[in-house]
Structure 1
């Protein structure tokens, strides 16, 4: 554990950042209630999660990538020599520092706030960026596709169409859940192995709300999705064996 001069402070920018992050939940709730019939409770829950997942990946984490690629400051020079900190050169520019810490817009402020808990998100940490590229451009669209399959599986009038959607659903959803778990592991395992060198764990709000709550969702729910997928696959094989014996 390491300390930082930043700590959780309630002010207008902080409240707006948290409100924006949580605003994806009511949007996902509205979509799930509007598109999935009330008789399909589990599908509503699954739709809510994947809608929230997609919105978070595309709009929140997508803004992180934007800041990493387009927000930067030139590195000052001393006696004609670039005084570069010890960090990876990003995009081949040895004379620049990239990341949300150097932006001025709303999304930069959002990530500056989260970086109080995990400093890697303030700059252009290449491991985090590599994971987020997959998350935003593959995970986000995959979550949207799962929502589409849930809609078809719940609302289609023809049973064959519903069955086809279910088959695709329980292929894509567990694959996405596995990817979410892997992404979480690769995000935090390096920190656990280095005594949380980039994390601020002394502030209870930063620890339990920013780090545990926001990241824990992508552990608990994907595990539940995998459990549901295992039950569906088992039921399908049992039914297939039953037909063979009949």
Structure 2
């Protein structure tokens, strides 16, 4: 791929506006749903999972849509780009279509423009990369609903007083949050590891905006924040077992 240079045109402004609007939207949702005296940790957990499901449904959901429904017809001899499987001499093509090229690059829709912009930094997201699509099916289909449900559970936990009902909700929330955070870390690794192992052929690291804003900043959130969620979950689990052990010790001392 030839090196790309960052250009601030109207399409770029729209794409960045969409990307940066989701966190304020999550914060606004938190201010509406959560009470004023919400503990700081639960507030941040709610905002993160609200941002998570907004990103998965709105942004990544549009990626999947364009992978399956946006295409151009090509001469039969042209292979689908960019997954290596499509270049197989046996003839393996995305959705079995030899004469079509799929992806956001072949649409003029507003959200397709967002992916056309991001594809300047990671070319795989403009077309129908099979690994990325496979990960995004799980992300949109499972991670998005899971993040939504976690945010809902947090909204139910916060106003409830300490007791068995609150404890049940907390156990469910922390289990799902741990599962989702682990999946987010795994998904990020599987997104970029193929590139690391193949010399980053699809990544545009020459331009500092594409490297540090598009590739690093927009992806590192799904490393550090899931890691923080796992740390908080560890403290909750270890604290619960410690309190249970103390109660057992006191009972034995009677």
TM bucket normalised to smaller: over 0.9
Distance, in Å, in 2 between the alignment partners of 1:209 and 1:54 is 21
Q: Does 1:147 align with 2:142?
A: no
Which stretch shifts more, 36-45 or 129-138?
36-45
Structure 1: stretches of 5+ with no match in the other structure: none
SS of the equivalent of 1:97 reads: strand
CA contact (8 A) 2:78 2:98 kept: no
- Which residue of structure 1 aligns with residue 243 of structure 2? 239
Q: Per-residue CA shift, 1:10-46, capped at 9, x if unaligned?
A: 1111111100111111110011122223341110000
**1:14-53 map, 5 Å:** 14-37=12-35, 38-53=37-52
* Paired residues for 1:187-202 under 5 Å: 187-202=191-206
Distance 1:40 1:223 in 2: 20
Unaligned residue ranges in structure 2 (runs of 5+): 87-92
Residue number among 85, 89, 94 corresponding to 1:90 in the alignment: 94
User: Normalised by the size of structure 1, how large is the TM-score?
Assistant: 0.94
Which residue of 1 is the match for residue 164 of structure 2? 160
User: How far off its partner does 1:158 sit?
Assistant: 6.6
Q: Is 1:125 matched with 2:120?
A: no
Alignment RMSD: 1.4
Shift, 1:157, TM fit: 4.7
Residue by residue over 1:88-123, the C-alpha shift from the partner in whole angstroms, topping out at 9 and shown as x without a partner, is 211111111100111111111110000000000000
Contact 1:117 1:199 in 2 (8 A): yes
What CA distance in whole angstroms lies between the structure 1 residues aligned with 2:227 and 2:202? 26
Once the two structures are superposed, what CA deviation does each residue of 1:159-189 show, in whole Å capped at 9, x if it has no partner? 3221111111110001100000000000001
Tell me if the contact between 1:33 and 1:44 (Cα under 8 Å) persists in the aligned partners.
no
Contact 2:80 2:100 in 1 (8 A): no
User: Are the aligned partners of 2:120 and 2:210 in contact in 1 as well (CA < 8 Å)?
Assistant: yes
Q: Which residue of 2 aligns with 1:218?
A: 222
Equivalences, count? 240
Determine the C-alpha separation between the residues in 2 that align with 1:175 and 1:208: 28
